[in-house]
Structure 1
């Protein structure tokens, strides 16, 4: 996640230091008071067409790389919304 990224957007797939696929997301919100996390949740919920309450940050609340849990969206839904991970 890139806070204060100028716009809210999903920039496609990348890889972390271990080579695992990560979805690159940027939001215009600052990371203060959880605003950036809330913007990420809203952006992903909209892209996956699920309610915001279905998207939770499971790990990485204060980190740039986060692990999310999403109810009501399958891997096929994610592939349709974001493309297949590398």
Structure 2
């Protein structure tokens, strides 16, 4: 795992946790993280899908719960920072940044083509 600038990881370490970029697909049939995807602007994001529709914040809540499970933290420690109404979102995962990053690193090897 590389923390070097431009390493194409969709998360950055902060003093109190990790900030992660997510490309969301609501009504994706199931709740899952499908790996890492490249965005049009050159950034990368975790590719995530949730089964609920994007209405009344339900998809954002489902994404927060999914991220919490993946990071091994309580859902209350996940905060939506930006992108509430868009598909590309930014979340803060509060906790030990090294531990959270290590858990998220498991998605680096996932097939994210498509």
Output the TM-score relative to the length of structure 1. 0.89
Post-superposition CA distance 1:32-79 (Å, at most 9, x none)? 111100000001101111000111110000000001111014223321
Matched with 1:52 is 75
Q: Are 1:7 and 2:33 matched, yes or no?
A: no
Higher relative contact order (CA 8 A, sep 6+): 2
Q: For 1:54 and 1:8, how far apart are their aligned partners in 2?
A: 19
More strand by share: 2
Give the conservation status (yes or no) of the 8 Å contact 1:50–1:73. Answer: no
Q: Are 1:37 and 2:63 matched, yes or no?
A: no
Task: Count residues with an aligned counterpart.
Answer: 83
- Structure 2: which 5+ residue stretches go unaligned? 1-23, 110-114
Q: Are 1:76 and 2:102 matched, yes or no?
A: yes
Q: Which has the larger radius of gyration?
A: 2
Give the conservation status (yes or no) of the 8 Å contact 2:72–2:103. Answer: no
- Structure 1: which 5+ residue stretches go unaligned? none
Output the TM-score relative to the length of structure 2. 0.68
Compute the RMSD of aligned alpha carbons.
Answer: 1.3
